[in-house]
Amino acid sequence: MPSGAKIRVGLAGIGFMGVTHFNAYKAIRGAKVEAIAEEDPIKRTGDWSGVRGNFGSGGGQVDVSKLRVYADYADMARDPDLDLIDICLPTPAHAKAAITCLQAGKHVLLEKPIALSLADADSMLQAAKKAKRHLFVGHVLRYFPQYRYLKQVCSSGRLGKLLAARFRRIIARPNWPTGGLNWFNDPKKSGGAVIDLHIHDADYVLHLLGKPKAVDSRGVPARAGTFDYITTQYDFGRNGPAVTSEGGWIAAQGLPFEQSFEAYFEKGTILYNSSDRPLTLLDHKGGKVEPKLPTEDGFVAEIKAVIQPLAEGVQPGNLLGAAGQASLALCLAEQESARTGKRVVLR
């Protein structure tokens, strides 16, 4: 496509994430949602009031009169006037939907996780390669302002070496409507809390520090070999940082969502908790400040990272399908460690 072109987007799936992405596009100049695909006839009329999630305000009434509205994402993928399909369908549909849209000649932005199995992820990457189109996986945590700040500090070295870090993500079990089927509660469809929820922090650990040598995990077992809660020690070698992460949908309903991290550097400490502590920097001289953060929404920043290289005709450098596959592989290794009670070496 010509450099500087506006990216024409089709959005597949009007659930919690679909609505979140739809609203994010309103703040992006280089892209416009021109079509939606949704099997629910009520949602196709623009009544999104039944959409709920574990944060944000959910859906509402939306004017869809200027959008091309499809019941089937495959029909939308054949629309010649679209460049990118943004897939926000339930996880079990990811592989088939992404491959269908890639084979139709569209770039694809796929909400995380990439898939439930590495075999499916590999098939998706092969489809993108064959179609000569880009497959992006939306790991939005990289773009939340607090996490972007930590990445910048870590990369710059201005606080010295990272000595240790702990990441945490705890929610109540999802109980919001999901198109008439609460597929979150079926681990064969959601992958359980590790693949659906904890993968945010696993991906961020990879983004921040690269692949660890091994993982050692323990958890609270659920059905089908999955876990409602997991805690992991990442092995970055004798000279690497001591990094742990915990996550799960194990809290009572009074705690619908909480994410936090602690990062300990040679010359300072960075703390953050979404419930009760704004991002705080403690320096080695005893100072305490709340760094100024960008106000841009994380989902807007994430989608911009996809749209910009497409619009400029340059090779994308972030959120590519291979990174999504690596995040899935890390979570699967953590689940194996938790199931066996043994350290798992990564290959």
| pLDDT of 2 over the 80 cut | no
- Identify the CATH number of the domain in which residue 204 sits: 3.30.360.10
The Cα–Cα gap between 234 and 240 comes to 10
Quick check: 205 pLDDT over 90?
yes
**For position 4, what pLDDT does the model report?**
63
Q: Is the pLDDT of residue 297 over 50?
A: yes
Q: Within this chain, do residues 229 and 314 fall inside the same structural domain, yes or no? A: no
Q: Give the residue-averaged pLDDT of 197-209.
A: 98
How high is the pLDDT of residue 263? Answer: 98
The predicted pLDDT at position 180 comes to 44
Instruction: Give the confidence band of 303 by pLDDT, cuts at 50, 70, 90.
Output: very high
Is 1 contained in some domain?
Answer: no
Helix, strand, coil percentages (3-state) for the chain, rounded to 5, are 35, 25, 35
Q: Are residues 249 and 314 in the same domain?
A: no
pLDDT mean over 286-308: 96
Domain match, 14 and 61 both: yes
For the segment 55-109, what is each residue's pLDDT rounded down to a tens digit?
656 688 999 999 999 999 999 999 999 999 999 999 999 999 999 999 999 999 9
Indicate the helix (H) or strand (E) that contains 93.
none
Listed in sequence order, the residues at least 6 apart from 181 whose beta carbon sits closer than 8 Å to its beta carbon are none
Does 199 reside within a domain? Answer: yes
Least confident of 48-62, 109-123, 207-221, 300-314: 48-62
228 within domain boundaries: yes
How buried is residue 47: exposed, middle or buried, by Cβ count under 10 Å (0-12/13-18/19+)? Answer: middle
CB burial of 15-32 (b: ≥16 within 10 Å; e: otherwise) equals bbbbbbbbbbbeebebbe
Residue 284 has pLDDT above 90, yes or no: no
Q: What is the CATH number of the domain that holds 47?
A: 3.40.50.720
- Sorted by sequence, the CB contacts under 8 Å of residue 207 that are 6+ apart come out as 139, 142, 151, 323
Q: Write out pLDDT tens, residues 213-249.
A: 999 999 999 988 899 999 999 999 999 999 999 999 9
Q: How many domains does the chain have?
A: 2
β-pair type (277-283, 288-289): antiparallel
- 232 is a domain residue: yes
* Domain contains 90: yes
What pLDDT, in 10s, does the model give residues 160-197? 999 999 999 999 987 765 544 467 778 889 999 999 99
Residues 244 and 110 in one domain: no
Rounded Cα distance, 241 and 251, in Å? 29
72 and 104: one domain?
yes
pLDDT in tens, 8-60: 999 999 999 999 999 999 999 999 999 999 999 999 999 999 887 656 566 88
Q: Are residues 99 and 217 in the same domain?
A: no
Answer yes or no: do 336 and 247 share one domain: yes
Residue 71 in tokens:
């019941």
CB 177 within 8 A of CB 52: yes
Is residue 2 included in any domain, yes or no?
Answer: no
214 lies in a domain?
A: yes
What is the span of the domain harbouring residue 21?
7-140+300-319
314 in the same domain as 234: no
Rounded CA Rg of the chain: 20
How far apart, in Å, are the Cα atoms of 198 and each of 35, 192, 248, 284? 31, 9, 6, 31
Residue 119 placed within a domain = yes
333 in the same domain as 280: yes
Q: Which two tokens stand for residue 105?
A: 């000649």
Same domain, 85 and 194: no
Residues 22, 92, single domain; the answer is yes
Does 332 lie in the same domain as 202?
yes
- Our CA dihedral for 38, 42, 43, 49, rounded to 10 degrees, sits at -150
pTM, whole model, 2 decimals? Answer: 0.95
Question: What's residue 278's pLDDT?
Answer: 98
Q: Is the pLDDT of residue 207 over 70?
A: yes
- Whether residue 1 has pLDDT greater than 70: no
Q: What's the pLDDT at 293? A: 97
